[in-house]
Structure 1
């Protein structure tokens, strides 16, 4: 099947949290629109970011409290000033996560007072609640109970609420209405601000490129409200968990800890949850990466009591039937397969059957032999090339940390470049690739070192925190050089 990517394009990878601005992390406000302006001027036509869901305390966007909800920390609270929900003094204090949450708590009852007086706002809110009722009410109650029980995991709640007893759920809704209303307010505002940002991107002909984790967090509204669909026992604890076996990168494999899917009942009822999940994300963005795509063909099953990924087994998944169903219900699937790691012929065949581009990481290109699939000469037209992803070091950090032999080979492969040409020699290599889409992390455009690394897989500390201190001005070196290269390699 032919690629759905219509022409040669290039993207910048930058998560929302890394945008500059007055709050504790980036938000969906003026800075996001300015970023779209800057990449547009530089010849990029795609903005890639990480999953958008609300996160746990460690901050990983791949471990979300909901597959459907937006992260309320992305809300631009400056809108609250215009509507009278917040005053300037409160806004000035929103420089920590706790302060941002406190401001949302102040804004919520004022928003609901306005709803009672404004018919147009009330109708808009009602339309939103109706369109998202399949997940919103459960998530709002889940979030309220998480707050009430001081962030305890749902399987640690009192048994009637853990097991979703009808009477206990009704009582909990009555007792926690203010918290529930705050969550609904936050999700309404996130949705409104997100679609305004999407419309702005479209006005600049910039496409939004999102990310869908293959698994969901154990402590999430998804698992609490659909327990029978996951590998859990009667107490809500996992019997089997996700991960990967030992490989080149880890002698003990990786134990991720997510519950696995009971695929058979999902397939029998027509993959309705998956369809709703993908449909909603594609309403937010123009294209989307499926993280750990290979688990749609076969997935590694680890006994819950294991501490690593050594003990386990491969089990088949109905990826063909799932993708066929999604295609029938949603039409064209603008999906990109994260096909890194242990990839079999069956995984490649599944990806190719549905015309999904795979990924080529240039930092992986300079080891092994001439058959290394990441070497530029081995790239495929229907693929997405990266200098590195959010899980890699920056190009400068990676190059400086490589041994002398690797650095020598890198420079030789890059048309006998010099060390001082990095990272632009690798950026140019990505943009010159035959791959239809080339993605450059913002840290590489800024020529930053390991201090700007976004995530180290398998660790919990010091991740997801890097942030631009200010937006590079129009016409600065990073944008000017990008435009020259995008034009040279026909990505404009």
Structure 2
């Protein structure tokens, strides 16, 4: 589908300020939406909202369907009468530009347990009906997920293939035994997902009422230590004990001599196809329920993916294997109707990937930071864009615009200055202006670039396993954003919100 000419901002909820050690779905999220509204922007893009695993990465999750319950706001629980003022005061943490996940998780676990007990102690008829309806509607993934989480906690979060054999291999008597054994923990996990869903949908509705679309993010691969692989091993390249056999990654390139070994188990696409791609259809349906549009990460993997044996130490020895391509997307189109999808088509693209993207009219991504390392034919230079694309100054995987300018070579700096006809002093605004005035239907900018922040405020450095996903902004940074300048750029580029009247 074609998206309207519009613009917006990329920021993950964990980056919101607040008093609980990490951002959440509380009042600061609404303040951010109000900022988009005041500046006539109509897009809010987030990273995956699924539960984070190793390194707190949104791209390494315990589930492709569940929500990250640590985004639940204690303030909203207090407003609902499920927590007291003293209880939320007791879990406050110092303000910082970095999330303190460990302390936040520990504190939130404590108060969530209190809220859970109060919810059931004072449950009203309509609440009970809503809770039961939620469980029924999401049964296809939720029943397995809550049991997986209960078992994971019991086994100290060790990978599921190291659990006792009976439950690791999901023997029917073991499933029955563990469901009974962890009855209370399972009910608690149901409630957490219910509360996550209620808070997220309320927040999304708040944005939608102001004419703001929310764009989610769907990683192509899932984590090995996830409810998805444990519950559906027949769809993944694992052996009968659950050990990985074939894993994902990308081959050596300009950026990495040994490639990137991601380690996610690959899909058994033939098995998925036999089942009418039902797992993927359910996944897309869930995403279209939770978001107005989605960015599909590593889109090229649907056309062809790099297959590596799990025993390999690097991604050097592998092979390209044909992906499901149009068979999958034809099925999803048939089952879901319109597909509001943005294709993450960065990196080495082939004709096959471009054909797949264009067959469904999915817009691709244009990154301004990539525009100055070659000549005037560079695809990332705005004069080479097509309207059906999304322009970014940078993404969550890039440095900030100022950070990029400070660290790149003099040749690229010179090209950027020449192209923008500027001194480079306010390169973040120059990149935002380029994106706004381009023909790309959608222009999205990381909040760090609106704030004019340097490399110390970067969200993620790909290929590194620590120190990522931590960035949070302060009230002062937010207050200093030049909203009038944003409004001006939105107006002159014809990207303002067009509300239905």
TM-score calculated relative to the size of structure 2:
0.95
Matching residue of 2:66: 69
In 2, Cα distance between the equivalents of 1:394 and 1:113?
48
Matching residue of 2:492: 488
2:450 and 2:481 in contact (8 A); partners too:
no
SS at 1:423 equivalent? helix
Q: Does residue 35 of structure 1 match 2:18?
A: no
In 1, Cα distance between the equivalents of 2:426 and 2:287?
39
CA deviation after TM superposition for structure 1 residue 405, in Å: 1.7
Query: After TM superposition, what 4+ stretches of structure 1 lie above 6 angstroms from structure 2?
Result: none
Deviations 1:162-206 (A, max 9, x none): 000111111111111121111111100011111111111111000
Deviations 1:291-312 (A, max 9, x none): 0000000000011011111100
CA deviation after TM superposition for structure 1 residue 85, in Å: 2.6
In 2, Cα distance between the equivalents of 1:59 and 1:310?
27
Matching residue of 2:115: 107
- 1:1-40 paired onto structure 2 within 5 Å: 3-5=1-3, 7-40=4-37
In 2, Cα distance between the equivalents of 1:80 and 1:331?
36
In 1, Cα distance between the equivalents of 2:481 and 2:465?
34
Matching residue of 2:101: none
Unpaired stretches in structure 1, ≥5 consecutive residues: none
- 1:6-405 paired onto structure 2 within 5 Å: 7-94=4-91, 95=93, 96-115=104-123, 118-405=124-411
SS at 1:256 equivalent? strand
SS at 1:145 equivalent? helix
1:156 and 1:162 in contact (8 A); partners too:
yes
Deviations 1:253-308 (A, max 9, x none): 10000000000121122111101101111111111000000000000001101111
- 1:324 and 1:471, CA in 2 relative to 1: closer, same or farther beyond 3 A? farther
* Matched residues, number: 485
In 2, Cα distance between the equivalents of 1:165 and 1:247?
44
Q: Does residue 441 of structure 1 match 2:446?
A: yes
CA deviation after TM superposition for structure 1 residue 119, in Å: 0.9
CA deviation after TM superposition for structure 1 residue 372, in Å: 1.4
CA deviation after TM superposition for structure 1 residue 472, in Å: 5.7
CA deviation after TM superposition for structure 1 residue 57, in Å: 4.0
Q: Does residue 459 of structure 1 match 2:457?
A: no
- 1:391 and 1:4, CA in 2 relative to 1: closer, same or farther beyond 3 A? same
TM-score calculated relative to the size of structure 1:
0.97
1:39 and 1:479 in contact (8 A); partners too:
no
In 2, Cα distance between the equivalents of 1:83 and 1:427?
40
In 2, Cα distance between the equivalents of 1:144 and 1:29?
27
CA deviation after TM superposition for structure 1 residue 24, in Å: 1.5
In 2, Cα distance between the equivalents of 1:43 and 1:391?
26
From 396, 411, 414, give the equivalent of 1:408. 414
